[in-house]
Amino acid sequence: MYPWLDYGGRVSPLRLAVFVSLFLPALYVMAAFPLGWLGSRPVTEAIHQIGLWTIRFIFLALLITPARRLLNWPRLIDVRRMIGVAAFCYIVIHFTLYVADEAFDLREVASEIILRIYLTIGFVALLGLAVLAATSTDGMQRRMGARRWQRLHRIVYGIGVLALIHFFMQSKANVWEPLWMAGLFLWLMGWRLLDWLAPRGRGVPLWQVALLGVAATVLTGLGEGAYYAIVINAPLMRVLPTNFSLDIGVRPSWVVLGVSCVMLAAAALGKWRPVSGRPSPARNRASAARGA
Ligand code: HEM
């Protein structure tokens, strides 16, 4: 079945828009390469850009469940698999570019993966994504049964952590994006915990979504301070106040606050908006069984 069709065989604008968008970063890198837009080390830059989009897609896939619940928009689940599979395709490109950068010397690649811990961590995450992609089809879902499938697919949380560590370790001095992504990850995990604690069918109350946003923002600010204190010995009391001004740009905590506010607005909207778009029947069965 074509990914832009829904289970009734009709073109779904949502699926089509997401499907096309997922290609854009890779197409940009492919076009930028011959045009010389990737700087003096184009392969390294391409590795970076594709790596960035891999982790962004992983996190976007993790955002789908809270977004569909908060927005009261069950059909959003239809695009989660597409985004997850895109993350896998991007990681394959990221890895292939790395192998090409090593002049396809597979012995060297293997020894680097064993000896350099950030590559080992990245490689384990890649294997995890491969497992998720291989079991992402409707057929595999049916064969495994909803419960086992759901249990297996929880490894995506571990993959998120490994991807973040890989990102932090190779970022060296500039950890702006890994820091805000770590804050977003806290929000994503916090929401899942609150959803699990909430009475069945009631969802996470608005005040808890608001509090979660504040907690993720504060922890991101503190995390940034702790990171620089540990890595470059910067006094905590010099780093923390930067969160209260724009003198050195938008801090990671502000990005987390922004995302949290958007999710809070989505939750407020979802409270009065009627349920929009049921998921496709097959998805509906699987979602109901696994409480996705
Ligand atoms: C799910 C798995 C992975 C994710 C999400 C991921 C993501 C990333 C990200 C976000 C970056 C940094 C981009 C930037 O700073 O602009 C990066 C860099 C890099 N990654 Fe990965 N990666 C993964 C797996 C791997 C694997 C398996 C390898 C190779 C064995 C690898 C090799 C590299 C290299 C060589 C760099 C650049 C390091 C440097 O320039 O110093 N990654 N990756």
CA-to-CA distance for 225 and 227, rounded, in angstroms?
5
Q: Where are the beta strands (DSSP E) in the chain?
A: none
Tell which atom from ligand 1 comes closest to the C-alpha of 55: 5
176-194, pLDDT tens digit by residue?
Answer: 999 999 999 999 999 999 9
Where residue 280 falls among pLDDT bands split at 50, 70, 90?
A: low
Report the nearest-CA residue for atom 6 of ligand 1: 51
Query: Is the pLDDT at 239 greater than 90, yes or no?
Result: no
Q: Which residue has the higher pLDDT, 54 or 75?
A: 54
Give percent above pLDDT 70 in the chain: 93
For residue 170 and ligand 1, the question of a CB distance below 6 A is answered with yes
For residue 183 and ligand 1, the question of a CB distance below 6 A is answered with no
Report the nearest-CA residue for atom 38 of ligand 1: 170
For residue 120 and ligand 1, the question of a CB distance below 6 A is answered with no
Q: Is 193 helix (H, G, I), strand (E, B) or coil?
A: helix
Mean pLDDT of 134-153: 95
Query: Is the pLDDT at 232 greater than 50, yes or no?
Result: yes
Q: What H or E segment, with its residue span, contains residue 120?
A: helix 117-134
Q: What H or E segment, with its residue span, contains residue 5?
A: none
61-86, pLDDT tens digit by residue?
Answer: 999 999 999 988 888 988 999 999 99
CA-to-CA distance for 50 and 93, rounded, in angstroms?
7
Q: Could you tell me the sign of the dihedral formed by the alpha carbons of 19, 154, 156, 193, in that order?
A: positive
Token readout for 156 is 């995506």
CA-to-CA distance for 188 and 211, rounded, in angstroms?
13
Report the predicted TM-score, pTM, of the whole model to 2 decimal places. Answer: 0.92
CA-to-CA distance for 9 and 281, rounded, in angstroms?
12
Confidence (pLDDT) at 275: 61
Report the nearest-CA residue for atom 24 of ligand 1: 122
Confidence (pLDDT) at 292: 38
Mean pLDDT of 245-252: 87
Query: Is the pLDDT at 278 greater than 70, yes or no?
Result: no
Query: Is the pLDDT at 283 greater than 90, yes or no?
Result: no
For residue 95 and ligand 1, the question of a CB distance below 6 A is answered with yes
Query: For a pocket test of ligand 1, which of 53, 98, 157, 175 has the largest count of ligand atoms closer than 8 A to its C-beta?
Result: 98
94-141, pLDDT tens digit by residue?
Answer: 999 999 999 999 999 999 999 999 999 999 999 999 999 999 999 999
Where residue 277 falls among pLDDT bands split at 50, 70, 90?
A: low
Contacts of 264 (CB under 8 A, 6+ apart): 206, 209, 210, 213
The whole-chain average pLDDT of the chain stands at: 91
Contacts of 193 (CB under 8 A, 6+ apart): none
